[in-house]
Structure 1
Amino acid sequence: MPIDIETFESSSEDRLQHSEETNADRVMQFLAANPNQAFTQSEVRDATDVKAGSISVVLSRLEDRGLVRHKGTYWAIGEADEVAAYTSVAESTRAANDRFGEEDMDEWLEHAVDDENPE
């Protein structure tokens, strides 16, 4: 995913080399870069380097969220509104992680409310 020029200018090289890009991110980037085309599962896999055993699950989950469309053996980027919402959330999460650091799930769970045993 691209970053804004302010982040590029103000970040160290080490910080910009750190990437937590997911398989879904890579698939979405590839399909978004090719919005006027549809691809077979193997073409998406080859273009994104997602493992053969994972690509089907990734595409299916993205389809369930309305982020990609599927007909026959072809896959394409989803409708603009759904993709825009996904991109907005993904960018907001990245910006928050850059600014405040990534959350530690164990630390979060220490402070989470237990609905079964409220204090």
Structure 2
Amino acid sequence: MPIDIDTFESTSGDRLHESGPTNAERVMRFLASHPDQAFTQSEICEGTGVKKGSISVVLSRLEDRDLVRHKGNYWALGEDDIASYAGFAESTRTANERFGEEDMDEWLEHAVVDGVDG
């Protein structure tokens, strides 16, 4: 999504981030919400909104990091610590629904550095 040039000029680079989850985050959230199932690439596209032209690359990169695994045409969460991620993701989703998502700008606004807060 484009931003206006005034926002571009007046905002520091570390605060200009594309909003919304990345494709990899979308895939991980989708698979984490179904840890007991495996899906085809088409099903993952439908469940995440990731474009069909991107899903293969996303899944391959996640597989390289052992975050997902696949057999034949099906993909699922990886093993080992991924169950922990699934639990964390579900807890985060529940907290966000109940309390609202955290606002990084608000965190930065209220951050206190030792000896600087006056």
- Which bracket does the TM-score occupy, shorter chain normalised? 0.5 to 0.7
Q: What is the TM-score of this pair, normalised by structure 1?
A: 0.55
Displacement after TM superposition at 1:28 (Å): 0.4
Q: For residues 20 and 41 of structure 1, do their structure 2 counterparts lie closer, same or farther at Cα, with a shift above 3 Å needed? A: same
User: Which blocks of at least 5 consecutive residues in structure 1 are unaligned?
Assistant: 1-17, 102-119
Matched with 1:109 is none
Question: Which of the pair has the greater relative contact order for Cα pairs under 8 Å at 6+ separation?
Answer: 2
Q: Which runs of 4+ in 1 moved over 4 A?
A: 85-88, 95-98
Q: For residues 80 and 19 of structure 1, do their structure 2 counterparts lie closer, same or farther at Cα, with a shift above 3 Å needed? A: farther
Paired residue total:
80
Whole-angstrom distance in 2 between the partners of 1:75 and 1:96:
33
Check the 8 A contact 1:67/1:79 in 2, yes or no: yes
Q: What is the TM-score of this pair, normalised by structure 2?
A: 0.56
Identity in percent = 59
Task: Note the aligned Cα RMSD (angstroms).
Answer: 3.0
Displacement after TM superposition at 1:78 (Å): 1.1
Whole-angstrom distance in 2 between the partners of 1:54 and 1:38:
19
Matched with 1:29 is 29
